[in-house]
Amino acid sequence: MQALILSTGLSSGSRSELLATEYGNALSSRGVELQFVSLKEYPLPPFDNGSPLLIPSYLPLHRLVSAADALVLASPVYNWGLSAELKRFIEIVGSTPPDDPIRGAFFDKIITFVCAAGLPHSYMAFAPLAMSMVLDFKCILNPYNVYVHNRHWEDGVLGDEATERIDQSAAVLAELMKCLSDRTYRSRWDI
């Protein structure tokens, strides 16, 4: 079982990146093999649907997503929504590769959203993007997503409530990965 943990926070000292690291530790302790990627290392241009295959970061990111059984998508929350970087990543990597015109990298992945926010009010910020991934790519959504806001941090350290939530979410994701490891179906583009 392999999970790709993607950090989309680009700022120095990004809280979403810290959460991604914490989540990775919790998942790794359950025997899940991890690949950690920060979009700081894979700059992505604005998506224009012109030639995503020519973007230098496209192929390495596409390969990482394709190889993973599950994706942990860590994002800051801005203006009641997830980061533009995460959406750009999904738009670019989600483009259908030339060698398989009916199946993209995201199909059938188990996804978990890990969100860092300022206030507690945007806890559903991941919902529109999650529903898009479920409908477009037939992803399976971990029902235990993580939403951490300013009140979950104590002097720059993650508090017990958020740590417990991360641990619970990682336990559910590891179990989902195990339960779904013998799936026989492979989804493709359809309605």
Exposed / middle / buried, residue 157 (Cβ in 10 Å: 0-12, 13-18, 19+): exposed
Q: What is the per-residue pLDDT for 96?
A: 67
Query: 67: domain CATH number?
Result: 3.40.50.360
Total count of domains within the chain: 1
Q: Which amino acid is at 36?
A: F
Contacts of 173 (CB under 8 A, 6+ apart): 3, 27, 32, 70, 72, 110, 112, 142, 144
Query: Is position 187 within any domain?
Result: no
Domain residue limits at 115: 2-179
Q: What is the per-residue pLDDT for 98?
A: 57
Query: Is position 31 within any domain?
Result: yes
Query: Is position 189 within any domain?
Result: no
Query: Is position 122 within any domain?
Result: yes
The total number of residues shown for the chain amounts to: 191
Query: Is position 184 within any domain?
Result: no
Query: Is position 191 within any domain?
Result: no
CA-CA distances (angstroms) from residue 13 to 110, 157, 189?
Answer: 27, 12, 38
Query: Is position 190 within any domain?
Result: no
Query: Is position 98 within any domain?
Result: yes
Model confidence pLDDT, tens digit, residues 122-154: 999 999 999 999 999 999 999 999 999 999 998
Q: What is the per-residue pLDDT for 188?
A: 83
Q: What is the pTM (predicted TM-score) of this model?
A: 0.94
Q: How far apart are CA 52 and CA 30, in angstroms?
A: 35
Q: What is the per-residue pLDDT for 97?
A: 67
Contacts of 172 (CB under 8 A, 6+ apart): 142, 143, 144
Q: Which residues of the chain have pLDDT under 70?
A: 96-102, 191
18-29 residues labelled b (16+ CB within 10 A) or e (exposed): bbbebbbebbbe
